[in-house]
Structure 1
Amino acid sequence: MADASALPYRRNVGAVIFASSGRIFVARRTDMPGAGGGPDEGVWQCPQGGIDDGEQPDVAVLREVQEETGMTSLTRLGEYPDWLSYDLPDHLIGKALGGRFRGQTQKWFALRFTSDESEIRLDLQAHQEFDAWKWIELAELPRLNVGFKKPVYEKLAVAFARFG
């Protein structure tokens, strides 16, 4: 196992996407246990992804959301004031994130989806990240199976409640 303290954090962005109803978009990861199962199985998360070299976080978040979900009809509601970091569990150190990072440090944005659901497409990438999606209440987010990202989602549920 690699020494986690010697590894850097990967810079990343995340999006809490609100529908006009105030509910938020979550999707089920294809690479975690429970993928392809029933509607409450698997590991769920909000769209997120890496920041390319020279890319600004507010640009990266729109690119990542489009790549992962097909959504382009988005308006920015706000952003979390700080970068939020999480560490990978020990069993993923040296394996996840290309084995080069101890976890991620993320800039989170609140976005409003302004189109109809026909715009949502999870199959746009060769290696599909998600296999299912749903709208949930923001307060439900930390209670879903979000794995080791739960502390980040607990902060976002409080900070972004005003956008619901």
Structure 2
Amino acid sequence: MHERPYRLGMGIAVFNKDNKVFIGERMDIPGAWQLPQGGVTLQEIETNLIDAALRELDEETGIKNVELIAITKDWAHYDFIDQGYVPGHSHKYRGQRQKWLAVRYLGKDDEIDLTTHEEEIEFQNWRWDDLSNIDQLIVDFKRPIYKFVQSCFAFIPEEKSADLSKVIKL
């Protein structure tokens, strides 16, 4: 039985004009990449989850100039301990439970700044990549949640009608 709760968070899939997704190389695990994400409070969930996600995006990447595309209807989760990973939050939380937001980046690449939040720099490097590749670039314990993200937002890079039952278009 798990007594610790999940840490609540938001993940953000940032698509550029070429339908590539932003992916950052983690500071703490060189060679491991991930999409921007961060914790949210219960108050943020009740008031404005999208604003919380956009705040996280700005803190981690300096990205501000975006238009909203969609948000997942469901929460997805992963466990820390069950995956053999013990991050800084593992003493308090069982894992993470996240909603995901897809946005279109309207700015220029040179506007992206990984040092915006100097106290806690998340990424050491970044690039644009295909959504279909991201589950192969991340740490193993997050692979299921990234497959969820791929299935929810597959309609964006493919620019075709898709099963939108997993998302709310914004």
Q: TM-score, normalised by structure 1?
A: 0.87
2:22 matches 1:31: no
1:18 corresponds to which of 15, 18, 27: 15
Q: CA deviation at 1:149?
A: 0.7
Once residues 155 and 52 of structure 1 are traced to their aligned partners in structure 2, the CA distance between those partners, rounded to angstroms, is 22
Once residues 42 and 59 of structure 2 are traced to their aligned partners in structure 1, the CA distance between those partners, rounded to angstroms, is 17
What is the correspondence of 1:82-161 to structure 2 with a 5 Å cutoff? 82-90=74-82, 91-93=84-86, 95-97=87-89, 99-125=91-117, 126-161=119-154
Preserved contact between residue 27 and residue 134 of structure 1 (Cα < 8 Å): yes
Once residues 6 and 121 of structure 2 are traced to their aligned partners in structure 1, the CA distance between those partners, rounded to angstroms, is 24
Superposed CA RMSD in Å reads 1.5
2:57 matches 1:65: yes
Deviation string 1:116-138 (CA, Å, 9 cap, x unpaired) is 01110001222211100010001
2:43 matches 1:54: yes
How many residues are matched?
A: 152
Spell out structure 1 runs of 4+ moving beyond 6 A: none
Paired residue secondary structure (1:75):
strand
State the identity %: 35
Give the letter for the 2:5 counterpart: P
Preserved contact between residue 89 and residue 148 of structure 1 (Cα < 8 Å): no
Runs (5+) with no aligned partner, structure 1: 36-41
Aligned to 2:165: none
Q: TM-score, normalised by structure 2?
A: 0.84
Runs (5+) with no aligned partner, structure 2: 158-170
